[in-house]
Amino acid sequence: MISQKKIIEVKNLVKKYDDLTAVNDISFDVYEGEIFGLLGPNGAGKTTTLEIMETLREQTSGEVLVDGLSVTTQKNQVKKIIGVQLQQSGFYPNLTLFELIKLFAGLYNIETDAMEVLELVGLKEKAKAIYKTLSGGQKQRFAVATTIINKPKIVFLDEPTTGLDPQARRNLWELIQNIRDTGSTVVLTTHYMDEAEKLCDRVGIVDSGKIIQLDTPGNLIDNLLAKGFTREEKLKHASLEDVFIHLTGKDLRDE
Ligand code: ATP
């Protein structure tokens, strides 16, 4: 359930890398229980914004509050209530998934039921497999698993489905919705507009370090249509992706 409680407040955020202003005075709120998407072209400033919210980068000016805590002055408290997707290179390749989950739980200083976490992401059968033997889709699901070990209030996912086949993408969408349904808020970036349209309750469109629109996907589409926009080609009632899924089925291939 999306509440009207602001779980993240981004206020006049600026990030400069020398002469380059990557994030140029942006402000927005994320509500508790929603899936919020940051969309935008390459280099727009999405990852920079996300990593400041995650306490991984420091802003030049402005402020971000995560559940009322400042990412600048209350970093450690923020870290306890968020789940962050690590780059895949952050995993020890020769440990099993079970061992890796236990290792992360140890770093968080918490007890966790590793099998329960793996079951949530559909990797229970792979508990004894070593990380480097996983397929791309399994690695992505495992990366999501590591974000929920500490039962976070907010999960951050940077391009969680990049490079996946259609079955694995849909599977990951379900997983992300399940995470939201257990009460976490999800903030993600994606370059896939179909993904944002299906998954996100609201999206912010970032361009050149500014948020240029922020609304539900439905409202953004209606606003465009109200301006008289129509597609040049008449849309068919099925897409090539529908053909692909119809032919190859919905089941994951890398089980
Ligand atoms: P993409 O979709 O390609 O991942 P993005 O929207 O996530 O892009 P950022 O990674 O936030 O964009 O980058 C925004 C701008 O800041 C880019 O011009 C990038 O080159 C620059 N930038 C990012 N990180 C650094 C850094 N550590 N040092 C210098 N410039 C950087």
- Say if ligand 1 is within 6 A of residue 154 CB: no
pLDDT at 87: 67
| Count of residues in the chain | 255
Q: What is the pLDDT of residues 100-118, one digit of tens each?
A: 999 989 988 889 999 999 9
Q: Evaluate if residue 88 carries a pLDDT over 70.
A: no
pLDDT at 89: 63
Assign domain 6-81+152-248 one CATH number from 3.40.50.300, 1.10.1740.10, 3.40.50.620, 1.10.3720.10.
3.40.50.300
pLDDT at 126: 95
CA dist., res. 172 & res. 19, Å (int): 38
CA dist., res. 34 & res. 187, Å (int): 8
pLDDT band at residue 240 under the 50/70/90 scheme: confident
pLDDT at 253: 76
pLDDT band at residue 80 under the 50/70/90 scheme: very high
Closest CA to 35 of 192, 181, 223: 181
| Closest atom of ligand 1 relative to the 48 alpha carbon | 11
- Say if ligand 1 is within 6 A of residue 45 CB: yes
For residues 176 and 160, the answer to whether their CB atoms sit within 8 Å is yes
User: Measuring from atom 17 of ligand 1, which residue has the nearest CA?
Assistant: 43
User: Measuring from atom 1 of ligand 1, which residue has the nearest CA?
Assistant: 42
